[in-house]
């Protein structure tokens, strides 16, 4: 369970020495909603035994680098991130979401706040939890603890890649919240290195600042990630 514990510390970093711990394992049948016949499809964890801390809506961070495919404000408050290998990492019961569908994220990046959205069984002892579930590329739910424990050791608290700082400066320079602001493809083409993403976008298509940012970030991400997730820049794809 060492690798899985590292993953929990990545999603819920230790606070004042308090570490996250499992409150309900994968496959559990106890503590399920009334009349439910299905075993637990994920693993629940929080700052076990520190209810006040759990109710303070602490920050949740992404377990992996990938693309956000869900960011639900209602329902179960699900935030789903698809990684470069096509696995869907899903965090449920978020109180708030700091990402939107289509956003690229890196491991350890803030994605939302822990809560109890959609939680049917509220245990005062457990307070708010993170429900983390994992689906393989075919959409089948698998045991996330077994998945992580098969991985090589990794840093539960990775440093932010250098390009994120540049991304923030890039955003600030665009001021794209002002109506009518726009940017053409040259702003993205000016980035150094080959850009296979732009080769798939029609140069005649409208290209606003948010689309330009997305195209550039898709370019920054690895080729494996671009192959796993089609990065669309808001324009038309060139005919094959």
CATH 2.70.70.10 fits 2-149, yes or no: yes
Q: Is the pTM of this model over 0.85?
A: no
* Parallel, antiparallel or unpaired: strands 110-114 and 79-82: unpaired
Give the pLDDT of the chain (240 residues) as one tens digit per residue. Answer: 688 899 999 999 999 999 998 887 776 555 555 565 576 678 888 898 788 888 899 999 999 999 999 999 888 899 999 999 999 999 998 999 999 999 989 899 999 999 888 776 556 555 688 899 999 999 999 888 889 888 888 888 876 655 555 554 544 444 333 333 333 334 444 544 444 333 333 333 344 444 444 554 555 454 444 444 444 434 333 343
Q: What are the domain boundaries of the chain?
A: 2-149, 162-228
Q: What is the pLDDT of residue 98?
A: 93
Distance CA 85, CA 63 (A): 14
Residue 149 has phi, psi (to 5 degrees) of -70, -10
On whether the CB atoms of residues 109 and 63 are closer than 8 A, the answer is: no
* Parallel, antiparallel or unpaired: strands 104-105 and 94-97: unpaired
Only one residue has tokens 């559990």, namely: 28
């Amino acid at each position: 369970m060492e690798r899985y514990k590292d993953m929990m510390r990545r999603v819920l970093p230790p606070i004042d020495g308090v570490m996250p711990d499992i409150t309900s394992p994968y496959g559990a049948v106890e503590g399920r909603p009334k009349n439910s016949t299905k075993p637990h499809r994920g693993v629940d964890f929080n700052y076990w035994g520190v209810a006040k801390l759990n109710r303070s809506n602490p920050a949740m961070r992404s377990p992996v680098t990938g693309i956000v495919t869900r960011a639900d404000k209602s329902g179960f408050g699900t935030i789903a991130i698809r990684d470069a290998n096509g696995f869907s990492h899903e965090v449920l019961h978020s109180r708030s979401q700091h990402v939107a569908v289509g956003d690229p994220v890196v491991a350890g990046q803030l994605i939302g706040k822990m809560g109890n959205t959609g939680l049917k069984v509220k245990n005062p002892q457990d307070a708010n939890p993170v429900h983390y579930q994992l689906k393989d590329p075919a959409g089948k739910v698998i045991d996330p603890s077994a998945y992580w424990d098969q991985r090589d050791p990794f840093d539960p608290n990775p440093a932010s890649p250098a390009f994120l700082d540049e991304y923030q400066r890039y955003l600030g320079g665009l001021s794209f919240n002002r109506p009518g602001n726009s940017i053409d493809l040259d702003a993205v083409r000016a980035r150094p290195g080959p850009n296979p993403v732009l080769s798939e976008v029609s140069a005649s298509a409208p290209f606003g600042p948010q689309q330009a940012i997305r195209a550039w970030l898709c370019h920054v991400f690895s080729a494996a990630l671009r192959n796993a997730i089609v990065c669309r820049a808001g324009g038309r794809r060139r005919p094959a």
